[in-house]
Amino acid sequence: MEKNPLIEPENYFEGYQKSINDLKNNPELLEFDKLCYELFEHQEAGRRFIKIIMEKYLIPSMVSKGNPTYQLDVLWQEGFKDFARMILNCVTSHKQRIIAQGS
């Protein structure tokens, strides 16, 4: 039976899946993920560093609400925190890749 394109539901996830598949095997991303993993997860000093970053910079607020430049400070803080989050995501991504390859 032939599918009717007018009543066939749109697969919105298809575009996302293609992007995920394209990025998944990108050698530059894989190399960066692996490097982050080796620096911040594989070594004791890296794990301690990440713990300190979490405790001192990611979890607490770094701006005071009474500051006249509060709005700009919040934007700066989020940009600062995003870099640390990116590193943590790279570590997690490589860890998941290791687990998937071992299965």
List pLDDT tens digits, range 23-54.
Answer: 666 788 889 999 999 999 999 999 999 999 99
Please report, for the chain, the start and end positions of each structural domain, with discontinuous segments joined by +. Answer: 28-102
Separation between Cα atoms, residue 46 and residue 86, nearest integer Å: 15
Both tokens of 58, joined, read 């990611």
Residue 20's pLDDT band, with cuts at 50, 70 and 90, is low
Determine the average pLDDT of the residues in 3-28.
Answer: 76
Burial 36-68 (b: 16+ CB within 10 A, else e): bbebbbeeeebeeebeebeeeeeeeeeeeeeee
pTM as predicted: 0.68
Identify the CA nearest to 46 among candidates 101, 91, 93.
91
